[in-house]
Chains A and B, each alone.
Chain A
Amino acid sequence: SYVLTQPPSVSVAPGKTARITCGGNNIGSKSVHWYQQKPGQAPVLVIYFESDRPSGIPERFSGSNSGNTATLTISRVEAGDEADYYCQVWDSSSDHAVFGGGTQLTVL
């Protein structure tokens, strides 16, 4: 089964840039999607197809994907961005969706 690896936590000061990585074997050949989950709430899609943003998601959220690492980048981080972030791909070998272990973003 395909494994996605995320750092458990990332910390960033307000106004700075946060980068959250998602590692997987040749993940650059896959479509990667990102979800934000605030405490006590359901996940929200923030990036799909590596770098597309759903309506209502600020331009500060962007994504990239190459080689063995996909990255969610949050520019000009705000206190309200503090949340858990999950990457997701489709494991075509066994035909099911896979989530990463999640990264807790802390705004200092």
Chain B
Amino acid sequence: QISLKESGPPLVKPTQTLTLTCTLSGFSLTTSGVGVGWIRQPPGKALEWLALIYWDDDKRYSPSLKSRLTITKDTSKNQVVLTMTNMDPVDTATYYCAHSGPSRGDYYYMDVWGKGTTVTVSS
């Protein structure tokens, strides 16, 4: 059974870099077609898609945040890591990672989500 679990610091200071880890279970990013993405949701607001990495290291980023985001995979640990630089209070949100199948581009969707991890940006 596929599952994902997010982890990271609950509190970061403005200007710091946030590092979030998504630990995968029941599947591997060495499997052809698999993708893992990151999505966030500020309190009381809508979902916002952030980034995506595929098994073949193909990556995509939100244009509005691309300069601040880096997504990588560690296949030995079965993890996906998202870093976001220059954190600001507006980045306070619940951050989710999600599994996607082989459908890319126009056919991309997220079929299994982690429970999320809450990050607060405050001095």
Q: Are A99 and B49 in contact (CB under 8 A)?
A: yes
Contact with B along A80-105 (1 / 0, CB 8 A): 00000010111010111111111000
Which residue of chain A lies nearest to B61 when distances are taken between CB atoms in the complex? Answer: A96
In the assembled complex, the Cα of A97 lies from the Cα of B108 at a distance in Å of 8
Which residue of chain B lies nearest to A84 when distances are taken between CB atoms in the complex? Answer: B46
Q: Are B46 and A101 in contact (CB under 8 A)?
A: yes
B55 contacts partner chain A, Cβ-Cβ < 8 Å: no
Partner of A102, one of B47, B105, B112, B114: B47
Q: Are B111 and A54 in contact (CB under 8 A)?
A: yes
In the assembled complex, the Cα of A88 lies from the Cα of B52 at a distance in Å of 15
Stretch of A12-20, A40-48, A59-67, A70-78 with 4 or more beta carbons under 8 angstroms from chain B: A40-48
In the assembled complex, the Cα of A86 lies from the Cα of B63 at a distance in Å of 20
In the assembled complex, the Cα of A43 lies from the Cα of B13 at a distance in Å of 28
Partner of A96, one of B46, B60, B109, B110: B60
Interface size on A, residues (CB 8 A): 28
Contacts of B113 in A (CB 8 A): 42-44
B62 contacts partner chain A, Cβ-Cβ < 8 Å: yes
Q: Are A31 and B106 in contact (CB under 8 A)?
A: yes
In the assembled complex, the Cα of A44 lies from the Cα of B47 at a distance in Å of 12
In the assembled complex, the Cα of A98 lies from the Cα of B80 at a distance in Å of 21
Partner of A48, one of B96, B105, B109, B116: B109
Q: Are B111 and A45 in contact (CB under 8 A)?
A: yes
| Beyond known contacts A42-B96, A42-B115: 11 more, CB 8 A cutoff | A31-B107, A35-B110, A41-B115, A45-B111, A54-B111, A86-B47, A90-B106, A92-B106, A97-B60, A99-B47, A101-B46
Binding site for B on A (CB under 8 A): 1, 30-31, 33, 35, 37, 41-45, 48-49, 54, 86, 88-90, 92, 94-102
